C-alpha cells in the first residue's frame, strides 16, 4: 500500500511537470502561431480550387524538443511486484525527417526462473536517431519512425537462490539454495533497431508505442554466473538477441519553426 501511494504521488508529480511545461510554452509560440494557422484553415476549407490557382502551398513545420515517459514501465510496478522501472524518452527534431532521440531509464527486476532467482538493478542510456516515414497532411505532426540506437547499461546482479540440476535425484530433490551473492560493476552495450508510432492526441501531447529489436555487442558477465536480465536490454537469450517494448506519453516543446514550400505537382501534371 505504501508503495502504491508512493507511485501515485510520483505519478502526479510527473504529470505536474507536464502541466508546468504546458503553461510555459505558449508565451513564445501562440502569438506567432495564430497567423499561419488561419492560413492553413483557409486552405483546408477551400481546397481544390485554391490549390490549383496557387501552384505551391506553404507548410510550417515546428521544431523542438519532445520529452516523455514510458507508461508501460511505470505502470508495471503496480501489478508486478518483481519489477520497478522508469524510462524517460526525448527527441529533438533535426531536419524535416530526422530526429535525434534518446532514452534514459532505471530498472529493478527480479527474474524468477524454474531453477534460478536473480535480481538485476541498474540504469541505462540509449541514444540515436529516428527517421519519420509518415507523410503528414498539412499541419499534422504524426510519426511512424524507424531508428537506430546505441545502448549502454551499468548494473548489478544478485543471485538470490538456485537449484542444483541433478538428472539422477537418488538422494531426493534438493531444496533451493539461498545464496544472495551480489555481482556489481557489470556493464553491457547493445545496438537496437527501434520502430515506433507517435500520434498527436491534443495540443502538444503525443502518445506512442514502439518495439525494439536488440543485439548485444558487449556484455561483461560475472565470474560463475550470467547476465540474465540487463536493464534497458531486457531478458537475455542464449544468443545476443533481445526485444523491448514501450508505451510513451510525451509533450512537445516547440522552439522554432521552418516554412517549407510544398510544390503541387499533382494538379498541374495531368493538364498537360
> CA 161 to CA 178: how far, in whole Å?
4
Of residues 174-203, those binding another protein (CB under 8 A):
174, 177, 195, 197
Applying CB under 8 A, does 39 fall inside the site for another protein?
Answer: no
CB 59 within 8 A of CB 135: no
The residues pairing with 98 across neighbouring beta strands, listed in sequence order, are 131
> CA 16 to CA 198: how far, in whole Å?
22
Look up residue 112 and give its three cell numbers.
524468477
Instruction: Single out the residue of 185, 224, 239, 270 in contact with another protein (rule: CB under 8 A).
Output: 224
Applying CB under 8 A, does 164 fall inside the site for another protein?
Answer: yes
Q: Min. distance of Cβ 234 from another protein in angstroms?
A: 10
Candidate ranges 26-34, 68-76, 218-226, 262-270; the one touching another protein (CB under 8 A): 218-226
Applying CB under 8 A, does 215 fall inside the site for another protein?
Answer: no
Using alpha carbons, select from 92, 84, 90, 83 the residue that is nearest to residue 104.
90
> CA 104 to CA 36: how far, in whole Å?
35
**Based on CB atoms, which residue is closest to another protein, 31 or 168?**
168
Provide the CA 71 distance to its chain's centre, in angstroms: 10
The residues pairing with 218 across neighbouring beta strands, listed in sequence order, are 189
**Based on CB atoms, which residue is closest to another protein, 166 or 268?**
166
**Based on CB atoms, which residue is closest to another protein, 147 or 254?**
147
The residues pairing with 192 across neighbouring beta strands, listed in sequence order, are 149, 214
Of residues 114-153, those binding another protein (CB under 8 A):
114-116, 133-134, 144
Binding interface with another protein (CB under 8 A): 113-116, 133-134, 144, 162-171, 174, 177, 195, 197, 211, 213, 224-226, 228, 235, 238, 243, 245
Amino acid at each position: 500500500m505504501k508503495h502504491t501511494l508512493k507511485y501515485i504521488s510520483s505519478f502526479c508529480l510527473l504529470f505536474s511537470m507536464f502541466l508546468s511545461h504546458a503553461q510555459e510554452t505558449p508565451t513564445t509560440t501562440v502569438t506567432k502561431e495564430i497567423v499561419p494557422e488561419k492560413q492553413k484553415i483557409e486552405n483546408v476549407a477551400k481546397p481544390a480550387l485554391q490549390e490549383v490557382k496557387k501552384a505551391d502551398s506553404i507548410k510550417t513545420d515546428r521544431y523542438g524538443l519532445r520529452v516523455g515517459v514510458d507508461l508501460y514501465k511505470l505502470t508495471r510496478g503496480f501489478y508486478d511486484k518483481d519489477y520497478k522501472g522508469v524510462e524517460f524518452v526525448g527527441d529533438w527534431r533535426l531536419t524535416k525527417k530526422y530526429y535525434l532521440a534518446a532514452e534514459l531509464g532505471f530498472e529493478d527486476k527480479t527474474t524468477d526462473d524454474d531453477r534460478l532467482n536473480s535480481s538485476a538493478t541498474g540504469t541505462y542510456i540509449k541514444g540515436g536517431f529516428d527517421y519519420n516515414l509518415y507523410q503528414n497532411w498539412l499541419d499534422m505532426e504524426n510519426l511512424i519512425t524507424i531508428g537506430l540506437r546505441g545502448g549502454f547499461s551499468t548494473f548489478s546482479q544478485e543471485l538470490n537462490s538456485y537449484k542444483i540440476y541433478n538428472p539422477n535425484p537418488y538422494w531426493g530433490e534438493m531444496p533451493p539454495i539461498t545464496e544472495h551473492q551480489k555481482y556489481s560493476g557489470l556493464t553491457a552495450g547493445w545496438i537496437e533497431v527501434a520502430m515506433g508510432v507517435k500520434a498527436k492526441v491534443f495540443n502538444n501531447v503525443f502518445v506512442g508505442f514502439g518495439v525494439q529489436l536488440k543485439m548485444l555487442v558487449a556484455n561483461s558477465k560475472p565470474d560463475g554466473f550470467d547476465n540474465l536480465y540487463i536493464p534497458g536490454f531486457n531478458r537475455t537469450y542464449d544468443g545476443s538477441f533481445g526485444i523491448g517494448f514501450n508505451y510513451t506519453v510525451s509533450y512537445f516543446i516547440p522552439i522554432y519553426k521552418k516554412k517549407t514550400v510544398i510544390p503541387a505537382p499533382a494538379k498541374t501534371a495531368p493538364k498537360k
